[in-house]
């Protein structure tokens, strides 16, 4: 289990897929890049074991939302498995995004009712 630090939180159950899809919107990336991107973008707020990316990536691939290919990275001579968003994945991202938005708004309405009134 990942240790919780004071300034961090574990990635919410079910949101990892969305985060990965959103990251891949910038272009193909391998697992390490995806993990680094998510962590850097959230200023290391979201804690995760990088290993957990891989089962998620395989799941997305099985569903046809991403495709993968082994390629040599341009900046070093190592092979990496690059993941690329598919058309289906793009649509799925929209769906998950809007679901997440609704969810967040709903939570916000409960938590800060005053803000809603004004």
Partner 1 sequence: MKPTASLRSFLTGLFHPAQVAGEVEDELRSHIAHRADDLERAGLSRAQAERRARIELGSRERYREECSEVAGVNFFRTFFADIRFSLRLLRKSPGFTIAALVTLTLAIGANAIVFSVLNALVLRPVNVPDGRHVYQVEQKDHVPSQSYPDYVDLRDRNTAFDALAAYEIDKAGLDADGRPAATWFYDVSANYFDVLRVQPYLGRFFHAADEHGVNSMPYVVLSFAYWQSHFNGDREVVGRAVRVNGNAYTILGVAPEGFRGTELFFSPDFWAPVVNTESKYFLTGRAVRGLWLVGHLGPGVTLARATADLNAIAAYLSKTYPKEDGGIGFLLTKPGLVGDMLGGPVKAFATALMLLSALILLAACANLGSLFAARAADRSREVALRLALGSSRGRILRQLLTEAVLVSLGGAGAGIAGALALLRLLNAWQPVPDIPMNVPAYADARTYMVALGLALVSGLLFGMVPVRQVMKANSYQGIKAGAAGTAAMRRFTLRDALLTLQIALCAVLVTSSLVAVRGMMRSLHSNFGFDPRNAMQVNTDLSMSGYKGDQIPVMQRRMLDAIQGIPGVTAAGFADRIPLNIGWSDTWVYRDSTTDYKPANRVTDAMEYKASPGYFEAAGTTMRAGRGFTWDDKKGAPMTAVVNQEFARVVFGSEQNAIGRWFKIWGGTRVQVVGICENGKYVTLSEDPQPAMFLSILQSASDDTWFIVRSNHGPEELGPALERTLNGLNTGLPFVVSTWKRELGLALFAARAASLALGVLGSLGAMLAVTGIFGMAAYAVSKRTRELAIRAALGAQRAEILRVALGRAAKLLAIGSAAGLILGILASRVLAFIVYQATPRDPLVLAGVVLAMALLGVVATWIPAQRALFLDPLVLLREE
Phi, psi (degrees; rounded to nearest 5) at 51: -60, -30
Helix (H, G, I), strand (E, B) or coil at 60: helix
Number of residues that bind partner 1 (CB under 8 A): 22
CB of 40 to partner 1, least distance (A): 11
Q: Which residues pair with 83 in a beta bridge?
A: 29, 68
CB of 54 to partner 1, least distance (A): 5
C-beta closer to partner 1: residue 79 or 105? 79
C-beta closer to partner 1: residue 63 or 84? 63
DSSP notation for 64-99:
TSEEEEEEE-SSSS-EEEEEEE-HHHHHHHHHHHHH
Convert 24-40 to b/e letters by CB count within 10 Å (16 or more is b): beeebbbbebbbebbbe
Q: In the window 26-85, what residues touch partner 1 (CB under 8 A)?
A: 30-32, 36, 49-52, 54-55, 58-59, 61-64, 76, 78-81
C-beta closer to partner 1: residue 49 or 99? 49
Q: In the window 98-117, what residues touch partner 1 (CB under 8 A)?
A: none
Determine which helix (DSSP H) or strand (DSSP E) holds 63, and give its type and residue range: helix 53-63
Residues that bind partner 1 (CB under 8 A): 2, 30-32, 36, 49-52, 54-55, 58-59, 61-64, 76, 78-81
């Amino acid at each position: 289990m990942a240790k919780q630090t004071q300034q961090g939180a574990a990635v919410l159950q079910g949101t990892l897929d969305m985060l990965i899809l959103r990251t891949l919107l910038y272009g193909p990336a391998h697992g390490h890049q995806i993990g680094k991107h998510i962590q850097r973008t959230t200023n290391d707020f979201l804690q995760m074991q990088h290993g957990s990316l891989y089962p998620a990536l395989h799941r997305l691939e099985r569903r046809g939302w991403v495709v993968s290919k082994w390629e040599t990275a341009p900046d070093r001579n190592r092979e990496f498995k690059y993941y690329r968003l598919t058309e289906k994945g793009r649509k799925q991202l929209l769906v998950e995004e809007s679901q997440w938005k609704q969810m967040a708004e709903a939570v916000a309405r409960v938590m800060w009712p005053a803000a809603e009134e004004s």
